[in-house]
Amino acid sequence: MTAPTFLWRIGVTVPEPARSAFEDYLETVSSVVSAFENEADRTWIVEGFVDAEPDERGLVNGLAATARKVSVEPPKPKIDLVPPRDWLAENLAQFPPLRIGRYFFHGSHFNGPAPAGALTIELDAGTAFGSGEHATTETCLRFLDRLARRHRFLRILDMGCGSGVLSVAAAKT
């Protein structure tokens, strides 16, 4: 495992119709791009992350060219240094034990007792989906729990994109 490193964050605030154009531009100069809505004013914050200090002049020119293409004012970039963090460790520490129906999910950091009669599943969700916290996963787990009380399934498909939490729960059921 490599030690966490500093990253540079390039952030711009843009109107919703221009969001994808600025995402596309930042993808050309960044390693990773994310976007989220600022619900207070319905604008979007688009961020790019890079491992070396960005060329501010080149960035301003690129943002201006992108703004011209979509007929908006060029956004002023906010460039700052993000200190190293162990995102995975922080995620694991914040993953509380979770009871859904007869299933009890917990990370490897949990050392308390499981509820009596629960099917326990130790799962470190990591950087993927799969903690059981998402509403669709919870609904599937509750439905699996209910159906399994009346039917015995020989084959179940967990066609997700995460940790396989549904298939683990099905196997334990």
**pLDDT in the model for residue 159:** 78
Rounded Cα gap, residues 158 and 165, in angstroms: 8
Residue with the larger pLDDT of the pair 173 and 53: 53
Residue with the larger pLDDT of the pair 38 and 155: 38
Rounded Cα gap, residues 18 and 71, in angstroms: 9
∠ CA 92-118-166, nearest 5°, is 60
**pLDDT in the model for residue 86:** 76
**pLDDT in the model for residue 127:** 52
pTM of the model: 0.56
- List the one residue out of 59, 85, 87 whose CA is nearest residue 6: 85
Torsional sign, CA 34, 37, 38, 44: positive
Q: Topology of domain 89-172, per CATH?
A: Rossmann fold (3.40.50)
pLDDT tens string 119-148? 998 887 655 555 666 788 888 889 888 988
Give the distance from CA 4 to its chain's centroid: 18
Which residue is associated with the tokens 């729960």?
A: 169
Rounded Cα gap, residues 171 and 103, in angstroms: 12
- Mean pLDDT (the chain, rounded): 87
* CB 66 within 8 Å of CB 25: yes
Per-domain boundaries in the chain? 7-85, 89-172
Q: What CATH architecture applies to the domain 7-85?
A: 2-Layer Sandwich (3.30)
- % helix, strand, coil for the chain, step of 5: 35, 25, 40
